[in-house]
Chain A
Amino acid sequence: MSNPLYQRHVISIADLTRHDLETVIATAQQLKREPRTDLLKDKVVASCFFEASTRTRLSFETAVQRLGGTVIGFDDGGNTSLAKKGETMADSVRIITSYVDAFVMRHPKDGAARLASENSSVPVINGGDGSNQHPSQTLLDLFTIHETQGKLDGLTLAFVGDLKYGRTVHSLAQALALFNCKFYFIAPEALAMPDYICEQLDAHGIEYQLAASIEEVVPELDILYMTRVQKERFDETEFQHLKSKYKLDASMLEGAKPNLKVLHPLPRIDEIATDVDATPHAYYFQQAQNGVFARQALLALVLNETV
Chain B
Amino acid sequence: MMEHTLKVEALANGTVIDHIPAGQGRRILKLFRMSESGERIYIGFNLPSRRTGKKDLIKVENITFTPAQANQLALFAPNATVNVIENFKVKEKLTLGVPDTVDGMLTCPNSNCITATEPVETSFRVSEKEGEVRLKCKYCEKTFARDAFAQLR
Contact = CB atoms under 8 A, between A and B. Distances in A.
Contact of A115 (B112, B114, B142, B143): B114
A115 B141 contact: no
Contact of B118 (A14, A88, A129): A88
Interface string B107-123: 00010111111111000
A90 interface: yes
B54 interface: no
Contacts of B141: 12, 14, 110-111, 114, 132-133
A12 B120 CA distance: 19
Contacts of A196: 143
A130 interface: yes
For the residues of B in contact with A, the DSSP-based class is loop
A89 B138 contact: no
Interface in A236-282: none
Interface residues of A, number: 21
Nearest to B141: A132
Nearest to B139: A111
Interface string A98-116: 0000000001111110110
A32 to B, nearest CB: 31
Nearest to B110: A110
Given A110-B110, A115-B139, A132-B140, A90 B117 contact: no
Interface of A: 12, 14, 88-90, 107-112, 114-115, 118, 129-133, 196, 199
Interface of B: 110, 112-120, 129, 137-143
